[in-house]
Amino acid sequence: MVFSKRESEAGNPFWSKIQENKNPGLWSPVLTPFSILYGMGIKVRLSAYRHGHLKKRSLPGFVVSIGNLTAGGTGKTPAVIMLAKWALNEGYRVAVLSRGYGGRYREKILEVSDGTDIKAEPMETGDEPYLLARKLAGVPVVVSKKRFEAGLFAHKNFDSNFFILDDGFQHLELKRDLDLVLMDASNPFGNGYLLPRGPLREPIDQLVRADTFIITRFKENNSGDGIAGFLKKKYSSNPVFYADHIPEKIIFPCLNKVQEPEFLKGKRVLAFAGIARPETFKETLIRFGADLVYFKGFRDHYKFKMDDIKALIQITEKLRADYVVTTEKDWIRISSFASLCPDIAYLCIRFTLLSGKEEFFRVIKDNIGDK
């Protein structure tokens, strides 16, 4: 592999390094007071819901939340896609409700998709809702800061009765029938601190609100066994499942070509990603044998500019890379610049339960009950 350590780490997001470092560093004294204030705010909010000062609202149907305890990086979007496809196949009238993080929509409620046609652009919706709309034929996707309002819209317009709350663990306003919490096998809690010093959105003890755990990016004989043991001991009545993100295909949208992931073996590849943990994308490419000559990570939900793509193209030419590869989520944000780099490709992944698949869906059905 012909890339230097400096090149491979040149674009790694600054915050992800801080939030994974358990040792006190230069930024700790600066960030710690903000984490303390953030934690105080979280406690006040949780207490307000617990004592009924802030009201929870119910939708006319089954509500399942897919969320996590940390700021991104656990693979919620592929998990939503998996669950929505299953529920649709089972005959439920599914709708996905999202906040649309990073979207520039101004409406109270934005209909991203009616299940047939996509009604909005990625800059309006945010990248996750747009990706969900692209991947989920037959499933409406609705965005609103008030997920209750989005759910009522879906029920009224599409007769939805199975609501998937995307990234919903912290959205306490909406009652749910099942809380699925995802955790990354290799680094479930980062450095253990709350935002912004760490990646935690809430204290770890709030896992008590979860009903079911899914350990993602799980590999046998890795650190995922540690978090599994912790969960089974601390929350023994809650089922724990294991999942991984399986590369499915490489798509060259400008060339109208589709390849198997093994196509990358031995190819000189320049890659980039603007996701919560870009290093996981880099590791995937290496695992499939790509000769990764350069890699750059951008912050999560990064809004790419034309100059960013031009700069990457210059490096591609300088290093004589064969292809430029990114994630499917990032492709959504750069598709308007596609003509600059016709050889660009994106990797599609599939969320796969590694064991207990039948038991997992039985848990879903058991919680649906008479709804």
pLDDT digit of tens for each residue in the chain (371 aa)?
Answer: 333 333 333 344 456 666 776 665 677 788 899 999 999 999 999 999 999 999 999 999 999 999 999 988 889 999 999 999 999 999 999 999 999 998 999 999 999 999 999 999 999 999 999 999 999 999 999 999 999 999 999 999 999 999 999 999 999 999 999 999 999 998 899 889 999 999 999 999 999 999 999 999 997 655 567 899 999 999 999 999 999 999 999 999 999 999 999 999 999 999 999 998 899 999 999 999 999 999 999 999 899 999 999 999 999 999 999 999 999 999 999 998 888 999 899 999 999 999 899 999 999 999 997 55
User: Residue 239 carries which DSSP code?
Assistant: -
CATH 3.40.50: does it fit domain 5-15+246-350? yes
For CATH 3.40.50, list the domain ranges present in the chain.
5-15+246-350, 62-244+352-368
The neighbouring-strand residues paired with 259 are 250
Contact yes or no for 96/139 (Cβ under 8 A): yes
- Strand residues in 83-233 grouped as ranges (E): 94-98, 110-113, 141-143, 162-166, 178-184, 212-216
Tokens of residue 171, six digits: 């959205």
- Exposure on the CB side of residue 55, measured as CA atoms within 13 A: 3
The pTM assigned to this predicted structure is 0.92
CATH 3.40.50: does it fit domain 62-244+352-368? yes
Distances (CA, A) of 354 to 131, 243, 244, 347: 24, 5, 7, 20
One-letter amino acid at 121 equals E
- What is the structure's pLDDT at 186? 86
CA dist 281 and 13 (Å) reads 13
